[in-house]
Amino acid sequence: MNEIDSRLTRCFQAVFPKLSVASVPTASVDTVAGWDSVAVVQLLNLVSEEFGIETDWEQAEEMTSYPAIRKMIADHISIS
Amino acid sequence: MRYTSKLRLIEALEINAQRHASGARPYRSSLVCGFMPLHLSDLFRAHLNLAFQDRDVLVETGLYGDLSGNIERALESQPDSVAIVLEWQDLDSRLGVRQLGGWTPDAAEDIVAGVAKVLDRLGSLISERPRHGTVVICPPTLPLPPFSHEPGWQAGLSELSLRSNMSSFLTRVALVKNVRIASSSAIDKISPLADRFDIQSEIGVGFPYKTLHADAVAQILALGIRNAAPRKGLITDLDDTVWRGILGEVGADGVHWDLSNKAHLHGLYQQFLMALAARGVLIAVVSKNDPALVEQAFAREDLALKRANIFPIEAGWGRKSEAVNRVLKSWNIGAESVIFVDDSPMELEEVKSVYPEIETRVFPTRDPAAAWKLILDLQDQFGKAEVREEDRLRLSSLRNANLFEASTAGGGAQGPSEDSFLSEAEAVITIDTRRDAVTSRALELINKTNQFNLNGKRITEAEWDTLLADPAAFLQVVSYQDKYGPLGNIAVLAGRAEGSVLRVVCWVMSCRAFSRRIEFQCLRMLFEHLNATEIELDHQATPRNHLVKDFLSTLAGEINGGPVRLDRTSFEERCPVLSHKVNIR
């Protein structure tokens, strides 16, 4: 697991404590109970804090899965 | 500030998850605001979990946009505590950015009038609704929007009126029992004004705070709810601490604390120590100096710190840790309740090596900014919500207690001489059995007393109110005075009656009141006043309360660390002669 995944996994498990490490990479709004708008806000705030990314709330609707959030982080890091 | 640790959001979530999984006893708190509480709620919960290490904190929140409804519902649900966060936008949405209500001059007038009405209503809600538990209110922390016509650098009448109405509201509710107002200055210290408002988050999801500011607000709310017990005593050095100069080198007239001798820092420190003394904080001196020279210096009339407010003065040439030991014995308090201030890091280290639990602070003789920071830190360490009569009496009652102990020691610990000594003390015990008897002092005693404490259990304000609301509950708040002087309220005893059996669930007595047989009188009055045949005491051994076990053993024989039952007949057979005059209210 590389550093982004390791830190992002910690964020996911903080918001969804019952999510196992193995389940995190495939976590999405369709597979995780409790993945609601409040959870998304929590996740994006954690990501902002952890990775120093300013949250773009207009993108929030697209953040529906681990891969989507991971891509957002990777895109931000590659731009900066 | 005491207890202050910044939390990252991820740390807060992890703390909350771990505590919930531990199965600890729940603690309910309501977080009331008009905006989406989001991670303010998570951070607040985590700070409360850190404050109450043995509890699982559950935070209830309300409805978006309904501040007064949320306050009403929170007060009705009777949680252990309520935290109310006020922001201007929740008093009038035109003072926020999510609604377009208008910022014209007419609107500004209407806004001021509307906010005044809302604050009046909130004031009535908070003052008149019966509740138990603590309420902490955080005043607005976010800047006002450009709703008035003045330039940004000018505080116009509309802004001044809003702030004046807010101030009146806060003053009104600050007078209500168990309501505390968070200090805006305290928030200013830890959260810069320019870094608080997150307009993107406010517009996007209805949460107006940047994460660091949310943490600052959460910290202050948790501090207000926890209301940690203040320290009890301050021990201070003299040379280059209370005054500038070395007394032994320059003599009593050669030490200074004034502006003209560039020693004003020390005058400020003395003034602060006097203020602490007036609030009931014990002040002692530990100094490597000639005792006679020290007394000469304290005879100076221009000292801001008066000799009469210091007890004891330990001046000599031995190790400071030994002098601290004597001070602690005179005060009869633990080292963990004390701060030691000295300009010498070496002396601080020496004392700390013997008393690791004592807090030490270096007095920064040549650094005014650091000295000012020290004074503000000491304010936090010793600050308390109320100064009571017992606080004002503390020093004189301590001196009297030492005089009392010396007198009883002269006659021997047991036997006729102690009986006759106590019979001549002209002791008067007043037992207040009313449910509202000096509640805040009673709770303070229960939560601060370690030595004579039946079981070491700490009680929140909400739990105390619940206990006393039981029709079968009984309460004794005991005050004492004798010919040596008054001690004020020194014991609290509470429990429930089940027929003729009384179950005592908490019992504490101040260490100032030992050796006067007050504890025996408390039990006798329970038997007589409540016509009991048996008393069951919820005793549990703690590392500090062996005095209780020793006392109960004199009545019940050898006991283990658990509950103790006393019947009236056995009590009267073993109770010593009691000479107090007793008044019951």
Secondary structure string (H, E, C) spanning B420-444: HHHHCCCCEEEEECCCCCCHHHHHH
CA distance A73 to chain B (A): 17
Query: CA B6 to CA A15: how far, in whole Å?
Result: 19
Query: CA B477 to CA A11: how far, in whole Å?
Result: 51
Closest Cβ–Cβ partner in A41, A48, A50 for B38? A41
Question: Mean pLDDT, 10 residues at a time, over chain B (585 residues)?
Answer: 75 92 91 94 96 93 93 92 96 92 88 96 89 90 94 94 97 93 94 94 92 96 91 96 93 93 95 95 95 95 94 93 95 93 93 95 95 96 84 74 64 54 84 79 84 89 87 92 83 93 94 84 93 94 86 87 90 91 92
Encoded amino acid at B357, one letter: E
Residues of B in contact with A12 (CB under 8 A): none
* Start-to-end Cα distance in chain A: 22
Interface residue B231 vs chain A (CB under 8 A): no
Q: What count of CB pairs under 8 Å joins A to B?
A: 47
Answer yes or no: is pLDDT of A14 > 90.
yes
Interface residue B13 vs chain A (CB under 8 A): yes
Residues of A in contact with B17 (CB under 8 A): 14, 17
pLDDT value for A8: 95
Pair of tokens at residue B174 = 């600050």
Chain A interface residues facing chain B, Cβ-Cβ under 8 Å? 10-11, 14-15, 17, 37-38, 41-42, 45-46, 48-50, 54-58, 60
Residue B236: which of B389, B402, B368, B382 has the closest Cα? B382
CA distance A42 to chain B (A): 7
Residue B310: which of B286, B333, B332 has the closest Cα? B286
Residue contact A60–B204, C-beta within 8 A: yes
Instruction: Among B7, B8, B10, B13, pick the best mutation site for testing chain A contact (most A Cβ within 10 A).
Output: B10
Query: CA B446 to CA B444: how far, in whole Å?
Result: 5
Rg of chain B (C-alpha set):
27
At B227, phi and psi to the nearest 5? 50, 60
Q: Largest alpha-carbon pair distance within chain A?
A: 34
Pair of tokens at residue B140 = 């607005």
| Chain A, nearest residue to B16 by Cα | A14
Percent of chain B that is helix, strand, coil (3-state, to 5): 45, 20, 35
Residues in Cβ contact with B365 at an 8 Å cutoff, skipping those fewer than 6 apart = B240, B241, B244, B265, B343, B371
Query: CA B338 to CA B236: how far, in whole Å?
Result: 11
Other beta carbons within 10 angstroms of residue B345's beta carbon come to 10
Residues in Cβ contact with B465 at an 8 Å cutoff, skipping those fewer than 6 apart = B132, B133
| Chain A, nearest residue to B39 by Cα | A42
Respond yes or no on whether ipTM tops 0.90.
Answer: no
CA distance A57 to chain B (A): 6
Closest Cβ–Cβ partner in A17, A37, A38 for B17? A17
According to DSSP, the residues that pair with B60 across neighbouring strands are B30
Query: CA B381 to CA B384: how far, in whole Å?
Result: 9
pTM of the model: 0.80
pLDDT value for A79: 64
Residue with tokens 């602690």: B328
Instruction: Among A41, A53, A54, pick the best mutation site for testing chain B contact (most B Cβ within 10 A).
Output: A41
Query: CA B43 to CA B64: how far, in whole Å?
Result: 18
Other beta carbons within 10 angstroms of residue B557's beta carbon come to 10
Closest Cβ–Cβ partner in A15, A41, A54 for B13? A15
Instruction: Among B8, B9, B198, pick the best mutation site for testing chain A contact (most A Cβ within 10 A).
Output: B9
Residues of A in contact with B39 (CB under 8 A): 41-42, 45
At B49, phi and psi to the nearest 5? -60, -40
Interface residue B14 vs chain A (CB under 8 A): yes
| Chain A, nearest residue to B210 by Cα | A45
| Alpha helices, H only, B424-545 | 439-448, 461-469, 518-529
| Chain B, nearest residue to A17 by Cα | B17
Residue contact A45–B13, C-beta within 8 A: no
φ/ψ region of B320 (left if φ > 0, alpha if ψ in -120 to 50, else beta) reads alpha
Query: CA B535 to CA B520: how far, in whole Å?
Result: 13
Interface residue B146 vs chain A (CB under 8 A): no
Closest Cβ–Cβ partner in B10, B38, B211 for A10? B10
pLDDT value for B413: 43
Interface residue B209 vs chain A (CB under 8 A): no
CA distance A10 to chain B (A): 8
Closest Cβ–Cβ partner in B10, B38, B204 for A11? B10
**Burial classification of residue B440, based on how many CB atoms lie within 10 Å of its CB (0-12 exposed, 13-18 middle, 19 or more buried):** middle
Asked if B178 contacts B443 with a C-beta cutoff of 8 angstroms, the reply is no
